[in-house]
């Protein structure tokens, strides 16, 4: 029965593969093609310009700034988000004191916290960005308002208006709205770790700290790694774009302090009428994203445990 196996598999895969090629791979190839043209996006005629767009890109300060910020987001955001999510998920599922006959349990009120953490996930990223834009408003916003209530009156930060703070404000918003998802994801992962492991650890007198690093994290590693890639791609792509585009000064400012690659793609294509150049930056973004995924997969590889 082995000889028909591949034909059988191919038969099933041909339709989805075709869809994938038409709607995912083909636009890709097209975009790479357009990156060698002077296409404006506003007219169907364009010419091949060879590597002009690439030379321009390498000399473009704004491109390098955008790249720097995108890479910073892709490195820092997963670190902070996943770190927080792991901590919260651990406390919600395992970190509680031993009560009654449950072997492991979360801290008091963990059911409520789970919902509270997940809540931002049900809001659209655009709504979150607009809400925080109001919160960061230096004159009428909630954040400076609270500072005033605590007696700080002078030289309150300008948040999004300050080039030193703006990118951090935007990162904080991204962390706020993505952590909840990973709390739930990691909770699900932790639920499938056999209870006897924890029981054994407890009998040996392990602390929460040891339990986390010796049992939970290693058994959860696959999920963490997937989360890492997913989060990095969010930061490099859609979410990073939406938040910067809606919240930041300019957008992308003040003084290019928050600009990111997808924003630059968007501006070049839809503001400056330079769709060809935009696809060039798109290609750069693609390479960065692939490199990011490859690095995380490679570095994250470790031996798998079976249970």
Q: Is 220 in the site for another protein (CB under 8 A)?
A: yes
| Binding-residue pattern over the window 181 to 200 for another protein, x denoting contact by CB under 8 A | --------x--xx-------
Q: Given candidates 12, 23, 150, 209, which one binds another protein under the rule CB under 8 A? A: 23
- Stretch binding another protein (CB under 8 A), from 5-13, 21-29, 89-97, 177-185: 21-29
262 lines the binding site for another protein (CB under 8 A)? yes
Name which of 115 and 299 has its Cβ closer to another protein: 299
Q: Which stretch binds another protein (CB under 8 A): 7-15, 112-120, 196-204, 229-237?
A: 229-237
Instruction: Give a three-class secondary structure readout of the chain.
Output: CCCCHHHHHHHHHHHHHHHHHHHHHHHHHHHHHHCCECCCCCCCCCCECCCHHHHHHHCCHHHHHHHHHHHHHHHHHHHHHHHHHHHHHHHHHCECCCCCCCCCECCCCHHHHHHHHHHHHHCCHHHHHHHHHHHHCCCCCHHHHHHHHCCCCCCCCCHHHCCCCHHHHHHHHHHHHHHHHHHHHHHHHHHCCCHHHHHHHHHCCCCHHHHHHHHHHHHHHHHHHHHHHHHHHHHHCHHHHHHHHHHCECCCECCCCCCCHHHHHHHHHHCCCCHHHHHHHHHHHHHHHHHHHHHHHHHHCCCCCCC
Count of residues that interact with another protein, criterion CB under 8 A: 83
- Cβ nearer to another protein, comparing 1 with 24: 24
As measured in angstroms, the least distance from the Cβ of 62 to another protein is 9
User: Exactly one of 214, 297, 299, 302 binds another protein (CB under 8 A); which one?
Assistant: 297
Does 267 participate in binding another protein (rule CB under 8 A)? yes
């Amino acid at each position: 029965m082995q000889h028909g196996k591949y034909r059988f598999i191919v038969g099933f895969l041909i339709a989805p593969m075709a869809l994938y090629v038409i709607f995912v791979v083909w636009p890709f190839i097209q975009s790479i093609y357009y990156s060698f043209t002077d296409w404006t996006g506003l007219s169907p005629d364009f010419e091949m310009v060879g590597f002009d767009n690439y030379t321009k890109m390498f000399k473009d300060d704004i491109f390098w700034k955008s790249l720097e910020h995108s890479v910073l987001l892709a490195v820092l955001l997963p670190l902070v988000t996943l770190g927080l999510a792991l901590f919260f998920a651990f406390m919600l599922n395992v970190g509680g004191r031993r009560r009654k006959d449950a072997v492991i349990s979360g801290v008091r009120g963990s059911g409520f916290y789970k919902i509270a953490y997940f809540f931002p996930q049900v809001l659209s990223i655009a709504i979150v960005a607009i809400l925080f834009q109001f919160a960061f408003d230096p004159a009428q916003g909630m954040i400076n308002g609270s500072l005033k209530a605590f007696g700080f009156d002078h030289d309150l930060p300008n948040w999004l208006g300050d080039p030193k703070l703006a990118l951090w404000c935007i990162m904080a918003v991204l962390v706020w709205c993505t952590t909840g998802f990973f709390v739930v994801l990691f909770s699900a992962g932790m639920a499938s770790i056999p209870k006897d492991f924890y029981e054994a650890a407890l009998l040996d007198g392990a602390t929460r700290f040891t339990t986390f690093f010796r049992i939970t994290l290693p058994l959860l590693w696959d999920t963490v790694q997937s989360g890492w890639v997913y989060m990095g791609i969010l930061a490099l792509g859609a979410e990073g774009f939406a938040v910067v585009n809606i919240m930041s000064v300019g957008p992308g400012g003040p003084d290019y302090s928050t600009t990111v690659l997808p924003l630059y793609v968007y501006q070049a294509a839809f503001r400056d009428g330079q769709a060809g150049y935009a696809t060039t930056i798109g290609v750069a973004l693609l390479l960065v994203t692939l490199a990011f995924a490859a690095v995380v997969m490679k570095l994250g590889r470790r031996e798998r445990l079976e249970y």
